[in-house]
Amino acid sequence: MSSTLTSLPAWQALADHQRTTRFDLRELFAANPQRFERHTISQGELLLDYSKHYVTAETMRLLAALAEARDLRGWTRRLMSGERVNVTEDRPALHTALRANRPVMLDARDVTQDVVRVRAQMRRFSDALRSGALKGATGRAFTDVINIGIGGSDLGPALAVEALAPYAGPLRVHFMSNVDGAHVEAVIKGLDPETTLAIVASKTFSTQETLTNANTVRAWLANAVGERSGEHFAAVTANVKAAHGFGIDDSRIFEFWDWVGGRYSLWSAVGLPIAVAVGMDAFEAMCEGARGMDEHFASAPFERNMPVVMALLGVWYGDFFGRGAHAVLPYDMRLKRFPDYLQQLEMESNGKRVTREGEPVDYDTCPVVWGAPGTNGQHAFYQMLHQGTQIVPADFIVCCKPHHALPQHHAIMLANCFAQTEALMRGKTPEEARAEMTAQGLPSAEVERLLPHKVFPGNRPTSTLVLDALTPRALGALIALYEHKVFAQSVIWGVNAFDQWGVELGKKLADRILPELAGASPVTSHDSSTNGLIDYTGGKR
Ligand code: G6Q
């Protein structure tokens, strides 16, 4: 039996369109010199070129009709007005309220008042830290800040602090996420505890890795400054009581709320390390950039709506062409963490196999999202993108203007970015490859022997996203763009983008295994592989 989604006329129409239409990108470009103009959307500091995709005007019309049929407009309204769209946790997902400039009511209360209060607290604290007015227990100004957090309490701020490095002030901001002692040692190595402040960022304040790391850092700080080590801590959490219990003073606890999902939380006090690094004005500029994207997402017609178009293209390739992967390729070294950030945003949000109502789906949901910066990737995995057996739709991201003073370097970046999407689209036919080798003077037998290796199939779809420059506003808009893309896809697929039950099982099992590792006798309570591995690493075999 097919599901509500796949039995929709809008879905069937797309399936028919896919079956009966030839999508040849070279031909589509040849047939319409206006293709770039027709298939670009600009919004604020961003431009999306989606002309190198398997789409015609009819495709876009049918995809938009699918979004209509899934009531995307209604769901967007529900999301932004605080309905409990996270049905399995019975919570709203109100990250847009964190950057709104109008009241957002939740249970008869305007939550933006709380946002404004915590923002003011963030400003006071980050200003005092950045100016050197706030001092450590031994009277010295802070030079280094460590954010201790993982997942949603790490990836967003780490991305933004790196992306906005040209805006950074005097403080060095470090990120400690992994419980791996090597990570802990690598971060604290070379830091002076007397001038180091730690922000413990944990929504629940119960995450094993974060609390283990926070305790280790506390011991390291206490060793240097004694019992006043509490003056070297701040906390960002929705569990104020637990942060207090850890010994952090109320004035240093920055609250956020259960209506903010972890991976959507960098706009809340989780963004404190961003404010510390680049200043509160820049953090607020990020929020403004995101708000511009929120307004665009909520109001632009689907076919002119950047996040909706990106979402629909993902559905088009995943569900109608069977493409199981999606690459994100920033041509900007400062965005090197963006693929990691998006892996969580996309795969934790939409890596689901049952609908909101608990029905198994009979279509594909989230693809594998991966990537790395260009041009580095060109010298590593692009071979597969060009000539491998799988077609991987990709987002190329690049800035018009760099922040550095090496124009020739930027020109090379731009040239490579555009060359790759052109090459993926055009490919190289046997005739072109033959003519090229013949012109090089190769003997004809050699030309024929090498020919199959020199052919590029082409017709490989890509989007290009162009930012004016990697400013706080543009970064905010870019992140919000993907947040809304992910939400729009969740609406099409009918899944809850805001829970993550899939991470629970492993956590529970780790709690069970931890004491077994320390036990003296061989373990028998698991399968033979798990027992064997525990015993082997514990020296019991
Ligand atoms: C995000 C996830 C997850 C979460 C971390 C850290 O949406 O829920 O990545 O952010 O597990 O959780 P805490 O902030 O509660 O420590």
Q: What is the pLDDT of residues 34-45, one digit of tens each?
A: 999 999 999 999
pLDDT tens digit string along 439-470? 999 999 999 999 999 999 999 999 999 999 99
pLDDT value for 42: 97
User: For residues 363 and 5, is the Cβ–Cβ distance under 8 A?
Assistant: yes
- Looking at every residue in the chain, the average pLDDT score rounds to 97
User: What's the average model confidence in pLDDT over 367-372?
Assistant: 98
Q: Is the CB of 496 under 6 A from ligand 1?
A: no
Q: Mutate which of 148, 155, 207, 240 to test ligand 1's pocket (most atoms within 8 Å of Cβ)?
A: 207
What is the average pLDDT across 269-274?
Answer: 98
- The pLDDT tens digits for 295-325 are 999 999 999 999 999 999 999 999 999 999 9
Active site residue 507: yes
pLDDT band of residue 540 (cuts 50, 70, 90) is confident
244 near 253, Cβ under 8 Å? Answer: yes
Distance 226 CA to ligand 1 centre (A): 31
Reported as a pLDDT band with limits 50, 70 and 90, residue 2 is: low
207 close to ligand 1 (CB < 6 Angstrom): yes
CA–centroid distance, residue 196 to ligand 1 (Å): 24
**Sheet (strand 394-401) strand order:** 40-43, 46-49, 462-469, 394-401, 325-330, 368-370
Element (H, E) at 109: strand 109-110
**Shortest-distance Cα residue to atom 1 of ligand 1:** 262
> 227: CA distance to ligand 1 center in Å?
30
Active site residue 379: yes
Closest Cα to atom 10, ligand 1: which residue? 152
Q: Does the pLDDT of residue 331 top 60, yes or no? A: yes
3-state secondary structure of 429: coil
Ligand 1: residue whose CA is nearest its atom 16? 202
Please report which confidence band the pLDDT of residue 3 belongs to, taking 50, 70 and 90 as the band edges: confident
DSSP codes, 174-208 = EEE----HHHHHHHHTT--GGGEEEEEE-SSS--H
As beta bridge partners, residue 48 has 41, 465
The predicted-structure confidence for 405-441, as pLDDT tens digits, reads as follows 999 999 999 999 999 999 999 999 999 999 999 999 9
Question: Any idea which residue has 């293209």 for tokens?
Answer: 313
Catalytic residue among 189, 379, 453, 508: 379
pLDDT at 1 over 60: no
- Which tokens belong to 489? 């896809």
Cβ 21 vs Cβ 15: under 8 Å: no
Does 83 qualify as catalytic in the annotation? Answer: no
Sign of CA dihedral 351, 357, 359, 364: negative
Residue 343, pLDDT score = 98
* Ligand 1 pocket residue status of 261, Cβ below 6 Å: yes
pLDDT of residue 538: 87
Q: Whose CA is nearest to atom 9 of ligand 1?
A: 151
Q: Report the pLDDT averaged over residues 214-236.
A: 97
Does residue 92 have its Cβ closer than 6 Å to ligand 1? no
Whole-number Å distance, alpha carbon 263 to ligand 1 midpoint, is 7
Ligand 1 contacts CB of residue 156 (under 6 A): no
Angle, helices 57-69 vs 9-20, to 10°: value is 160
Q: In percent, how much of the chain has pLDDT > 70?
A: 100
Chain centroid to CA 13? 32
pLDDT score, position 539: 81
Region 86-112 average pLDDT? 96
Looking at the CA of residue 264, tell me the nearest atom of ligand 1.
Answer: 7
SS3 282: helix
Q: Which atom of ligand 1 is nearest to the CA of 201?
A: 14
Q: How far is the CA of 205 from the centre of ligand 1 (A)?
A: 10
175, 178, 200, 203: residue to mutate for ligand 1 pocket, most atoms within 8 A of CB: 203
Angle at alpha carbon of residue 374, lines to 373 and 380, rounded to 5°: 95
> What value does the mean pLDDT take over residues 462-488?
98
- For the CA of 263, the closest atom of ligand 1 is 7
Helix residue spans in 391-503 (DSSP H): 407-426, 430-439, 444-454, 472-493
pTM of the model: 0.97
Among 13, 470, 68, 9, which residue's Cα sits nearest to residue 305?
68
